[in-house]
Amino acid sequence: MTANNTPTKRYALAERTIDENDIAELIDWLRANPQLTQGPLVKEFEATWSAWLGRKYSVFVNSGSSANLVMYYALLLAGRLKNNKVVVPAASWATTVAPAIQLGFEPIMCDSDWQTFGLDLAHLEQLCEEHDPGAVIVVQTLGVPGNMDGLLALKAKYGFVLMEDACPATGATYKGKKVGSFGDLATFSFYFGHHLSTIEGGMVSTDDEQLHDILLHIRSHGWAKDISPEKEAELAREHGALPFNRIFTFYYPGFNVRNTDLQARIGLSQMRKADWVCARRVQNQRRYEERLSGVSSLHIPANPDGVTCSISFVALAETSHQRDAIAAGLRANHIETRPLGGGSMGRQPFWTERFGARSYPVADAIHTRSFMLPNNPDISLSDVDFICDVVLSVIAEQKAA
């Protein structure tokens, strides 16, 4: 079945946001024989990002996954955690959860909230009572802001450190405040097709100076070259580093997850259109919601206190069978679709092989019934209408059968 029986256009879930102007600017910059490794443009991109987000510090790394890895590790190194237990969201992404395993935390899985697909706060409170976790990581699922007032109230009550994985949620807001400005630390992804892209790339943002300094060390081998010269001199004095060896003195066990000035150059051009890109994605998201939220067999996550800014629109079908039929109808019309992320991490082999299988009802529904629809800045409202028509016609055909 097709909506107009002559589908010609192809709709991909991830489209490039790097346009001809960005590329022309990059080529001009390359011709000037600039520094290609991490250098002044990385600092400029970090400062521009922090100002746009409304946070004090940001550290540019080579992916959102690396951002999550150093976010966890910085907390461990800073000695901020009352214990090594961390609550992780079932509906998230592999590398939201993986650092907890890699770095020797004890991960405890929390179900999702039916309205926002963020953390189920009733379940989280139960886990806090039972385990008193040192940290919680929340995902701002596909640009739908979670219930941040509720989450911050639990943070105050139980005293955990909050990590905010905003990798798929740039530009979303909760009560007028951008997501990624709620956690003690927050991460973003600039992978291809995300809100803004540096091809590969990620950012960790925080208002905490000590965490920022640790992040600068562990991004780059554990050395002190990126912190202020005064702080480096202080460390060198404290540790008795030989003057000639100071440059290669490693104060923390670090990684190398740096990004480059080339990527930062792209990031800076992307920042100039950040508000436009986000506004387009919000507009398309709203059109999807207008067209599909009244449909009884679909469930669409939303937060009345926030603005959803998605890279793909997500909905749950009534059944897995209906989801498969919708997916087939979409593909027949050259519209790409996938489940939401990896669905429930509680059903992924890397988790079940270590911690066993358990049911997380909302995350399980996301696993078995979710499907995503394209939402790129270049998709028009009539494209959204066409995609919705395809979804609605499959549902109508199913009901009639």
Cβ–Cβ < 8 Å for 352, 90: no
Q: Is 301 in the site for ligand PLP (CB under 6 A)?
A: no
Going by their DSSP bridges, the two strands 202-206 and 185-189 should be labelled as antiparallel
Size of the site for ligand PLP (CB under 6 A): 16
Sequence-distant (≥ 6) Cβ neighbours of residue 353 within 8 angstroms: none
Position 86 contacts ligand PLP (CB under 6 A) = no
Using rule CB under 6 A, residue 168 touches ligand PLP: yes
DSSP, residue by residue, 65-95? HHHHHHHHHHHHHHT--SSSEEEEESBS-HH
Q: 3 or 137, CB closer to ligand PLP? A: 137
- Which run of H or E residues covers position 177? strand 177-178
Instruction: Please identify which residue in 11, 48, 64, 223 interacts with ligand PLP, judged by CB under 6 A.
Output: 64
Give the CA-trace dihedral at 81, 85, 90, 91, to 10 degrees: 10
Question: Would you count residue 96 as binding ligand PLP (CB under 6 A)?
Answer: yes
User: How far, in whole angstroms, is CA 99 from its chain's centroid?
Assistant: 15
> Is 197 among the residues that bind ligand PLP (CB under 6 A)?
no
**How many residues are present in the chain?**
401
Return the beta strands (E) in 229-317 as ranges.
306-307, 312-316
Query: What b-and-e string marks burial along 334-371, b requiring 16 or more CB atoms within 10 Å of the CB?
Result: ebbbebbbbbbbbbeeebeeeeeeeebebbbbbbbbbb
Q: CA–CA separation, 284 vs 291, rounded Å? A: 11
Q: What is the DSSP letter of 223?
A: B
Please state, in angstroms and rounded to a whole number, the distance separating the CA atoms of residues 239 and 52: 37
Give the one residue of 53, 167, 274, 330 binding ligand PLP; rule: CB under 6 A: 167
Question: What binding mask, one character per residue, do residues 198-227 give for ligand PLP by CB under 6 A, x or -?
Answer: ----x-------------------------
- Cα–Cα distance measured from residue 42 to residue 256, given in angstroms and rounded to the nearest whole number: 15
Q: Which residue has the tokens 């701002």?
A: 140
**Least distance in angstroms from the C-beta of 2 to ligand PLP:** 30
Nearer to ligand PLP, 140 or 173 (CB): 140
Q: Which is nearer to ligand PLP, 200 or 318 (CB)?
A: 200
164 binds ligand PLP (CB under 6 A): no
Residue window 360-399: x/- pattern of binding to ligand PLP, with contact defined by CB under 6 A: ----------------------------------------
Determine if 62 is a binding residue for ligand PLP (CB under 6 A).
Answer: no
**Minimum distance, C-beta of residue 165 to ligand PLP, in the bound complex (Å):** 5
Which of 17, 38, 95, 220 touches ligand PLP (CB under 6 A)?
A: 95
Report the residue from 45, 49, 93, 252 that binds ligand PLP according to the rule CB under 6 A: 93
Q: Amino acid identity of 251?
A: Y
Strands 135-139 and 85-89: parallel
By CB under 6 A, which span of 14-22, 27-35, 165-173, 210-218 interacts with ligand PLP? 165-173
Phi-psi sector, 356: left (phi>0), alpha (psi -120 to 50), beta:
left
Q: List the one residue from 50, 65, 198, 333 that touches ligand PLP (CB under 6 A).
A: 65
Subset of residues 255 to 284 that bind ligand PLP, contact rule: CB under 6 A: none
Site string for ligand PLP, 328-347 (x = CB under 6 A): -------------x------
* Residue 139 binds ligand PLP, judged by CB under 6 A: yes
Q: Which of 22, 111, 120, 165 binds ligand PLP (CB under 6 A)?
A: 165
Q: Are 174 and 145 in contact (CB under 8 A)?
A: yes
Q: Does 191 bind ligand PLP (CB under 6 A)?
A: yes
Options 74-82, 164-172, 321-329, 384-392: segment touching ligand PLP (CB under 6 A)? 164-172
CB-closest chain residue to ligand PLP: 64
Q: How far apart are the first and last CA of the chain?
A: 14
| Contacts with ligand PLP, residue ranges (CB under 6 A) | 63-65, 68, 92-93, 95-96, 139, 165, 167-168, 189, 191, 202, 341
